[in-house]
Structure 1
Amino acid sequence: MLDFSKNYFELFGLPVGFIVDADSLSDRYRDLQRVIHPDRYANASEQERLLSLQGASRINEAFETLKDPIARATYLLTMHGIEMDAQKETTSDMAFLMQQMELREELEGVRNQDDPYEAVLDLRGRINKQIKTLVGQMAVQFESATPDQLEDAREILRKMRFLQKLRTEVESVAADLEDEL
């Protein structure tokens, strides 16, 4: 059965770090699901069925956490004893905040563009590029994970969350525009 004392990285047999091999993660996820899937325990004792359900739930939670850069960074910070409250924490980088305001204004005005769908795709592309840059910066912070680097990782995570929220809003507008086509 599954060892519930293992962290998510150990559970998947991966080195602890921000960079995760997506193929290895997916392969190991499928392997673990085959072993622990509740259907395999249909004729087992009630305790074994319960453990199977708990194991499958833990595997799913670990997989979702490790495949998402924001969730993975949050988990790594937690492993280092740094808790983050997404609702209360915000970046203090004024230039970044101003840029976010400009991007939000651009999103609000996208329907006034000659080609609103193209404008929203362009905006999404720029946001994705910023997120990719931050993901690269995050990887560097976790390489040796000194206290200063962990604080920098925390700040990068705040920015990633801002951009992720904005990207979700952009995706919503893009979907609305597609429906109108």
Structure 2
Amino acid sequence: MDITQNYFEFLALPVTYQLDLQALSERSRELQKTLHPDRFSHLSDRERRLSVQYTAYLNEAVSTLKNPLSRAQYLLKLKGFDTFSESQRQLDPMFLMQQMELRESLAEISATADPEAELDALRATVEQELRSLREQFDKYYQQSTPSSFEAAAVCVRKMQFFDKLGREIEALEDQLFDE
């Protein structure tokens, strides 16, 4: 085990956006069994600490690779593109206008006659946009050129907007229907 490897290498998986989530899960379970700290309880302090570090790294890797947005961010990070904190790139005004309109729709949902249907419709829109952006990201990432990685980074920035909107939809749904 080597925690200086990237997550894909650590898990012995191909470096790709279209990741086989079943293979990720199976490999994770195998490594969990091998690395579990209980298996090292009779060994030295150093070996127990390493087991804890490996397990933490494994958990971080699985969490990152399981989520399509964080997987895309991580792939770009491996190529030298920081989309975690990067905000100097301006997104196109039409996209930003769309985001404002979607957020206005979300803000008005609780006052509608059928908020549940409105939430479902908005969620469907967000999911469709995310699917489209994931496909675009994958296409750009596979091209593997500096300009295609830039285009993939733009997709990630847009995915971040829709991901946040999706969480806001869930929060409003909880607020409206769990009372």
CA distance in 2, matches of 1:83, 1:160: 14
Higher mean alpha-carbon deviation, 89-98 vs 126-135, is at: 89-98
TM-score (norm 1): 0.94
Q: Which runs of 5+ in 1 are unaligned?
A: none
Which structure's relative contact order is higher, taking Cα pairs within 8 Å and 6+ residues apart?
Answer: 1
CA distance in 2, matches of 1:167, 1:90: 23
Where does residue 23 of structure 1 map in the other structure? 22
Where does residue 120 of structure 1 map in the other structure? 119
Task: Name the aligned partner's letter for residue 38 of structure 1.
Answer: P
Where does residue 102 of structure 2 map in the other structure? 103
Instruction: Describe the superposition over 1:56-103 as per-residue Cα deviations: whole angstroms up to 9, x where unpaired.
Output: 000001111111111111111111112234363564211111111110
Rate the CA distance shift 1:95–1:70 in 2: closer, same or farther, 3 A. same
SS of the residue 2:75 aligns to: helix
Rate the CA distance shift 1:7–1:87 in 2: closer, same or farther, 3 A. closer
Asked whether the equivalents of residues 110 and 120 of structure 1 are also in contact (C-alpha less than 8 Å), the reply is yes
TM-score (norm 2): 0.95
Asked whether the equivalents of residues 18 and 139 of structure 1 are also in contact (C-alpha less than 8 Å), the reply is yes
TM-align CA RMSD: 1.3
Q: How many residues align?
A: 179
Structure 1 stretches of at least 4 aligned residues deviating more than 6 Å after TM superposition: none
After TM superposition, the structure 1 = structure 2 runs for residues 8-47 of structure 1, keeping only pairs within 5 Å, are: 8-47=7-46
Where does residue 145 of structure 2 map in the other structure? 146
Aligned-pair identity (%): 40
Where does residue 163 of structure 2 map in the other structure? 164
